[in-house]
Amino acid sequence: MGNRVGGKTLRFSREPRITSRYTLVGPMEGRGPYALDFSEILPDDSLGQKTAEKTERLMLELAIEKTLQQHGTKIQDLDFLIAGDLLNQITTSSLAASTHTAPFIGVYGACSTFAEALALGAVLLHGDFASQVLVGTASHYQTAERQFRYPIELNVQHLKTNQMTVTGAAAAILSYAERGPRITHATIGSVVDMGLKDPHDMGSAMAPAAFQTIKQHLADTNRTLGDYDIVLTGDLGKQGRKMLRLLLERDKFEGLERLQDGGSQIYGDKQSVGAGGSGAACVAVMTLGYALNCLDSAKAKRILVVATGALLSALTVLQGESIPCIAHAIALEQ
Amino acid sequence: MGNRVGGKTLRFSREPRITSRYTLVGPMEGRGPYALDFSEILPDDSLGQKTAEKTERLMLELAIEKTLQQHGTKIQDLDFLIAGDLLNQITTSSLAASTHTAPFIGVYGACSTFAEALALGAVLLHGDFASQVLVGTASHYQTAERQFRYPIELNVQHLKTNQMTVTGAAAAILSYAERGPRITHATIGSVVDMGLKDPHDMGSAMAPAAFQTIKQHLADTNRTLGDYDIVLTGDLGKQGRKMLRLLLERDKFEGLERLQDGGSQIYGDKQSVGAGGSGAACVAVMTLGYALNCLDSAKAKRILVVATGALLSALTVLQGESIPCIAHAIALEQ
């Protein structure tokens, strides 16, 4: 296996690049500290659609269209469209894909979906199976609330450990065009289930998955946290972020000041959002917006994105199952 | 793109092999004409579990374990576990994966999921990213009924065009070991939506997707239907099978006698199952059981599996969306 290093990490020696990207977010995300990092802030969270599901789909379609436009790529020249989302049977992605002719690969990894798509896109390029791959995802606060929790009309109070699903969408084109941040490594995580069952504290459930993937990635690449300017976890939220730090400290990892968490940071500190953001779009917009802007502006040379996902469903919660979690790491360089 | 032929078909010049496989099915599937093709027929459809969801998960776990055992592979030597299923957030696969340490790639393509997993597994092997990949899926009549339609306790009457979700699971190991059928090509389909909205006739909705993928595959490979001993569509059912024949006849395709449909055939003609079988396990057990047995016994030298999927959800049906469909083709040779 020439394209692996260490035990589980994929090494892309012909480094695929992210050669076009587009992010759009809802009004609340636009009031956070990363407003300038996103391509577009929507004026409202409905876009004139009759249902939030239609809005979510429209956001993904817009992100796909804009990314293609910027790249000067026609949809028929795309080799693959890889997408997934939180809705049952990833219908946001399938319906958005139905307006396109590109071969469609549907993926699911909850809030880690975008990183899974990035990794598979890089594999297809590096393996010479594609020359242009589009990856995308979307989520919407209202669709996630009513599917996983309660309809927002009930106005159910949230706990401090609850996370707010990010309203937004993101799409990127991977290719070997000349400019754009490079994907150098991907570490696909295994499923970690520590027996936690509280769907109102998914950060604590996901932290061990993030820890395991970070540990694996650093061991495989013979790197330290300090070798990355930023280690951006996805969606751990304030509670999960604390847990991850404890796990890393316990194992004497150094360089913890490099840790940032997209979920904890996306809304800033002034909005009432429990432990922070989550949702498939969260790590996607923070990666394509914030992280890649840091690379573009040379604020960072090397970033590790660690996207986490809680692989539960409303039914597994009702049936008393614990929450299986996963994290995938993607190493990016200017 | 050295590893593509024609417009969209992947060509695996270093042909990955299916070097271990295990299929298990429920009692009804075991009363059909393919009973001898399956590795195991379950004595009942509960396996002593309290819920059908737990049974579905257990079936997948059993299929994974048995496949690994037969291959003499330890789970820690697997490079990837690729799986998906019909349940919301593919929880059957995630929960089954949580008992293993292999890096997990969650996929979703409804009843075409297994073919998507096979294609990605072959890509990972061919690209030198893996040396052993396990692919798996499962479905269960009761879990699908209550999620997509009604709880079986209501005993709702089915229509002639309804299909019965296959109770079963399948797993296979892909590797470059010496024996086993080879995967030579994969054609990943794009999403086709002809505007059909009837969730009780998914065969008619899926037929155009099967047609498009077959047409694309044959054009890309410069082959005819007659170049395959069997063209095994997944889960079109009796209604969808008719539609596919009409579409192929209209475009003057020859060799229609090579067409078989797993969904239409799995239960035989004596059981009351509407238009036949469906479900993520249907094309998976028919491929790993029936089709590969035909290759093993030299009844066939070359088979094209065309796995179809209806990418709807209970919510998209209620919201009046039409049914996006997809089909992926996998070419197999002895």
Per residue in B250-287, pLDDT tens? 999 999 999 999 999 999 999 999 999 999 999 999 99
| Contact assignment for A108 to B84 by CB distance below 8 Å | yes
Residue B159's φ and ψ, nearest 5 degrees, are -90, 170
Minimal C-alpha gap between B224 and chain A (Å): 21
User: What pLDDT is recorded for position A154?
Assistant: 87
User: Tokens 């047609």, residue?
Assistant: B211
Residues of A in contact with B120 (CB under 8 A): 105, 120
Q: Reduce the DSSP state of residue B68 to 3 states and report it.
A: helix
Report whether pLDDT(A1) > 70: no
Determine the straight-line distance between the first and last CA of chain B, rounded to whole angstroms.
26
Per residue in B214-233, pLDDT (tens digit) is 999 999 999 999 999 999 99
Give me the residues of B, 188-247, that contact A with CB < 8 A: 188-193
pLDDT (tens digit per residue) in A240-268: 999 999 999 999 999 999 999 999 999 99
Contacts of B116 in chain A (CB under 8 A): 105-106
How close is the nearest chain B Cα to the Cα of A41, in Å?
Answer: 27
- Give the closest-approach CA distance of B48 to chain A in angstroms: 16
Query: Does the beta-carbon distance from A189 to B104 stay under 8 Å?
Result: yes
Cα gap B186→B10, rounded to integer Å: 5
Q: Which of A89, A100, A127 sits opposite B313 (nearest CB)?
A: A89
Please report the DSSP string for B284-296 in residue order.
HHIIIIIIHHHHH
Q: How far apart are CA A268 and CA B109, in angstroms?
A: 37
Contacts 24+ apart (CB under 8 A), B148-157: B148/B86, B148/B199, B148/B313, B148/B314, B149/B199
CB contact under 8 A, A91 and B129: no
Confidence category of residue A5, pLDDT binned at 50, 70, 90: confident
Interface test with A, best of B129, B146, B196 (most A CBs within 10 A): B129
Contacts of A51 in chain B (CB under 8 A): 319
Does B16 score more than 80 pLDDT? yes
Selecting from A95, A128, A190 the residue whose C-beta is nearest the C-beta of B102 gives A190
Q: What share of chain B is helix, strand, coil (3-state, %, to 5)?
A: 40, 25, 35
Q: Is the pLDDT of residue B1 over 70?
A: no
Average pLDDT (B175-186) is 96
Chain B window 32-91: which residues touch A at a Cβ cutoff of 8 Å? Answer: 51, 53-54, 79-81, 84, 86-91
Residues from chain A that touch B315, judged by Cβ atoms under 8 A, are 53, 87-88, 91, 147
By the 8 A CB rule, do A283 and A309 touch?
no
* pLDDT over 90 at A153, yes or no: no
Indicate the SS3 state at residue B238: helix
Q: How sure is the predictor about B154, in pLDDT bands with cuts at 50, 70 and 90?
A: confident
Question: Cα distance from B58 to chain A (closest Cα, Å)?
Answer: 14
Contact B221, B6 (CB under 8 A): yes
3-state secondary structure A128-175: CCCCEEEEEEEECHHHHHHHHCCCHHHCCCCCCCCCEECCEEEEEEEE
Closest-CA distance, A246 to chain B, in angstroms, reads 23
Q: Is the pLDDT of residue A191 over 90?
A: yes
DSSP string, B2-60: TTEETTTEEE-SS--EEEEEEEEE-HHHHTSTTGGGSSEE-SSSSTT-SSHHHHHHHHH
- Give the nearest chain B residue to A129 (CA atoms): B3
Closest CA to B255 of B231, B287, B291: B231
Model confidence at A2: pLDDT above 80: no
**pLDDT of residue B2 exceeding 80:** no
Cβ-based contacts under 8 A for chains A and B = 192
Answer yes or no: do B106 and A102 touch at CB < 8 A.
no
Q: Do A88 and B8 touch (CB under 8 A)?
A: no
Is the minimum CB–CB distance between B111 and chain A shorter than 8 Å?
A: no
Describe the crossing of helices A52-71 and A141-148 by its angle, rounded to 10 degrees.
140
Mean pLDDT of A213-233: 98
Q: What is the mean pLDDT of chain A?
A: 96
| Single-letter residue type at A288 | L
Q: Chain A neighbours among B 155-194 (CB < 8 Å)?
A: 187-193
**ipTM of the modeled complex:** 0.97
Predicted confidence at residue B51, as pLDDT, reads 96
What is the SS3 assignment for A235?
A: coil
Please give the average per-residue pLDDT across A54-66, as a whole number: 98
> How many Å lie between the alpha carbon of A97 and the closest alpha carbon of chain B?
6
Q: In Å, how far is A258's CA from the nearest CA of chain B?
A: 25
Instruction: Verify whether the Cβ–Cβ distance B311 to A129 is below 8 Å.
Output: no
- Interface probe, candidates B13, B60, B76, B88, chain A, greatest A C-beta count within 10 A: B88
d(CA A302, CA A291): 10
Tokens read off for A18: 């992210």
Mean pLDDT to the nearest integer, A124-144 = 97
Q: Do B129 and A4 touch (CB under 8 A)?
A: yes
The answer to whether B324 contacts A94, with C-beta atoms less than 8 Å apart, is yes
Q: Which residues of A touch B312 (CB under 8 A)?
A: 89, 91
Cβ–Cβ of B88/A88 closer than 8 Å?
yes
Nearest C-alpha of chain B: how many angstroms from A160? 25
In this predicted structure, which of A216-225, B4-13, B305-314 has the lowest mean pLDDT? B4-13
Tell if the CB–CB gap between B319 and A95 is shorter than 8 Å: no
pLDDT at position B280, please? 98
Q: Which domains does chain A have, with CATH numbers?
A: 4-175 (3.40.47.40), 182-333 (3.40.47.40)
Nearest CA in chain B to A189: B103
> Which B-chain residues 10-29 have CB contacts (< 8 A) with chain A?
10
Spatial separation of the C-alpha atoms in residues B299 and A326, rounded to whole Å: 43
Question: Which of A1, A51, A130 is facing B131, going by the closest CB pair?
Answer: A1
Among candidates A84, A100, A316 on the partner chain, residue whose Cβ is nearest the Cβ of B91: A316
Q: Judging by beta carbons within 10 Å of its beta carbon (0-12, 13-18, 19+), is residue A250 exposed, middle or buried?
A: exposed
